Structure 1
Amino acid sequence: METTFPAGPQAPRVLGVSARDERTAAAAAVRLADRLAADPSLDLDDVALTLAHGRERFAVRHAVTGTTVAALAHALRESAARPRRTAPVPLLVLDLGDGSALPATPPLAQAVEASATAGDLGLGQAAETAAVLYGTASWLAAHGVRPDLVVGRGPAAAAASALRGELSLPDALRAAATASGVPRAETPEGEVLVVRLGAGAAEAGVLCLDPLDPASCARVFAALWERGFDVDCTLGRGGRRVRLPGYPFQRSGSVTATVPPGLRPLTPHEQRWLFHDLVRSGSAAEHTLCATAVLPGAVPGAPAAEAALAALQDRHPDLRTVFTRSGGRWFARVSGRPVPVTVLAPDSGAGPADRVRAAAAQNTFAAADVPLIRCVLAPAGDGWAVALAVYAPVAGSPTADGLLAEWCELAGTPLRPAAAAHA
């Protein structure tokens, strides 16, 4: 099943470049244009993938579209000549329209799968339209177009409601078929950028994306990249990494004077691991420490477990570290928010120690603005199991087992090494 827009030689590609400041971004665009001009045999999918997954993303951005190496090199030079300004990232609204602008099913796995669900339910054309819209929006979300709000009218309103998490997909399809029972969406406040499904020309604050037109999709992804959204400029196409020119070295003033209030520069240790995990997307799992244990007695309630976790962070202040981005640069800050503890429901299936360990480590730690420590509890026969996972760059010298033992002490339940493990 094809899961992306056409990838033939005439399909447009998107090349996105970013840097900390306008001068460096322009120079990077020109250097990339020179590289393309010097080697017209370069595979554009390889170039797009290398730029998308092999570079850190900064606030000042260039993005160009084209179908050939020569066209993209020319577009990069033209883009470098236009001034760039860093602007706040606006709220993103995905407008599904009313469904009339989608006469056929795009060749996307999500759209085909949702359409098959509508066919199985046998609810008619309105439900089919809602399903295709739902699947198309799901594909966009999987490739970085993650709106703050999804809206629609007619059958599209039901699809929008499912995408907002208010209805399950089957319930949304039934609502589309009966034209009833669809919750209304709240209009967001502040600056808004709208991506509207359907053919049309871009206008102020509105980008029109025709899911059946690869050129339209490429233009919208390029525009979103330049507005600060971390969309997948490969459009889901494969490729391999190739050698491309890096950023030109340009000496600037002191960076310590530009640290925003409440933030601090990353330590060299944090820089090394964060950069590694940003470049190798998803590799944070390799640097997650996890320990598990089984203890007797009743499962502590969430308030007591969270109080113990807060006390552990007081003992080890680095465990309150949160990474964040500001002005295209990475910083660290100290989070004052309590970290919620997950308490799993009873389950007679997998072993309790395996359950909590899997739940604690199932998702790698996202880089930006999330706690870098996680705690999971679950019933275990006459006792309970606990897992503690922490991102290694903020763990410091204590081991995962040591941190877990401290947490158990603070929770009033001395650790019994019936089942302990590292990850």
Structure 2
Amino acid sequence: MITGAPRGVKDLLPKQTKQWHKVEAVIRQITREYGFEEIRTPIFEHSEVFHRGVGETTDIVQKETYDFTDRGGRELTLRPEGTAPTVRALLEHKLYAGPLPVKLYYVGPMFRFGRPQAGRLRQFHQFGIEVFGSASARVDAEVMAMAMDFYGRLGLTDLELLLNSIGCPTCRPGHREALQQFLAPKVGELCSDCQKRFEKNPMRILDCKNERCQELSQGAPTTVEYLCTDCADHFNEVKTLLDSAGVTYTLDDRLVRGLDYYTKTAFEIVSRQIGAQSSIGGGGRYDQLVETLGGPTTPGIGFGLGLERVLLTMENQGLLADDDQEQRDLFIATAGAGTAAVAFRLMQELRQRGMTVEMDYQGRSLKAQMKTADRFHVPRVMIIGESELAQGVVVLRTMSTSEQQTVPLDSVIAHLCGTAEPPMSV
């Protein structure tokens, strides 16, 4: 017997996919209204896309990526996040050469090896947006406002938008030096990962989830204290724009996010209803990433929202109705020789006209077929028996009242659809 799915992945059964469809419908609607176009990148990329883009010192690259060598000896990685692949596509297809800004979105599976827990799997799904070609604080504000708008349309409440600025290459060195001086006497007490980060990227120590590291870094110099004039002005404008739009936020000077490519604005959306791992999405600005991956200087900003985490939060807030009804427009019940072929023809013609139609496939009795029709919650049943077929008619039964009417076989399509001809193919 085949064993279950691998640890850290799960099947989405029809009941769950209906819930996903509702969330995805909101994604399609909100991205259209905000002017984003969809991009679909491959499931795997050359490993250097993530090593150079996400950063060698990140937990993602060091511990969580699914790396493999293909039969041609190429080093490949299942995508752990969506920004670096989108930048790679931007460069490969020279999208930056067209009208700016370029506004893209994606929805799809990502892969990270970690300890599976509620809403956090090894294969997970992300809704992400990326904006390339504008350094304006207005874009930062729009990206965060869009994220909160998305959650609001799903009905989610009790969410908190955490906001920080982590500076740029101009002001980051000053913070780095001050942070290293603060942590130098404590390096030996840090976890092994943070001891490595101390030299390569000490700011990442502030993001460590180890409780001891969090204690040791309390009171450390913050990025906001060392912002250059440009970064400080940008951050102040972001806050002003969010305030003007009524987007509430909480300043969090320890928020640095887990990816090396962020500059200036960093943000995270958290819910207190899904356990210790409370983040359900986040993002930030990455003005050097395109250049890091070999392209021209092109500012960028985006977010990635974990859909499993979103759905878990919706479930905890009672927003996932248990709607397991299989709704159909019509069920065709048959009885007797020659009726199945007629029913099958009518079913296909009605489907081509946009109706959802089912019929019996098991050769069950008429009584059993009516029970099946009840399960599909159809408003009407078409009954075709040998006697009806001989008379060239069908019987239409309204399920709510049990009323029946006889309709000529050759006009039943027009009767049900209001037109004798199918719509023109496009």
For the criterion TM > 0.5, the same-fold answer is no
**Relative contact order, higher structure (CA 8 A, sep 6+):** 1
> What band does the TM-score fall into relative to the shorter chain?
under 0.3
* TM-score computed with the length of structure 1 as normaliser: 0.19
* TM-score computed with the length of structure 2 as normaliser: 0.19
Greater C-alpha Rg: 2
